[in-house]
């Protein structure tokens, strides 16, 4: 039985921490191999500028969004 691609638009939630670029790229490649169309990557900004090498790797018009860090509980 042939395996048909889903072609579902997908937003990948990547890892913005140290070492997160390789994990995010691995997840991206896995999604592509399984027939998903990744339209954007979003991750939390940890000040490591991971968006620059990730944007260079993707280059296909895939948007990369940074979210500000989650505020710490002040109570």
pLDDT (tens digit per residue) in 4-56: 777 889 999 998 888 889 999 999 999 998 889 999 999 988 888 888 888 89
Distance, in Å, from the CA atom of 42 to the CA atom of 18, rounded to the nearest integer, reads 15
Distance, in Å, from the CA atom of 42 to the CA atom of 12, rounded to the nearest integer, reads 6
pLDDT value of position 49: 86
Distance, in Å, from the CA atom of 74 to the CA atom of 61, rounded to the nearest integer, reads 39
pLDDT class of 75 with cuts at 50, 70, 90:
confident
Using alpha carbons, select from 10, 22, 26 the residue that is nearest to residue 63. 10
């Amino acid at each position: 039985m042939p395996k048909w691609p889903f072609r579902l638009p997908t937003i990948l939630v990547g890892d913005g921490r140290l070492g997160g670029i390789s994990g995010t790229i691995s997840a991206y490649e896995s999604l592509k191999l399984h027939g998903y169309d990744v339209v954007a990557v979003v991750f939390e900004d940890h000040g490591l500028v991971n968006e620059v090498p990730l944007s260079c790797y993707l280059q296909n018009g895939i948007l990369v969004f940074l979210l500000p860090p989650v505020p710490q509980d002040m109570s």
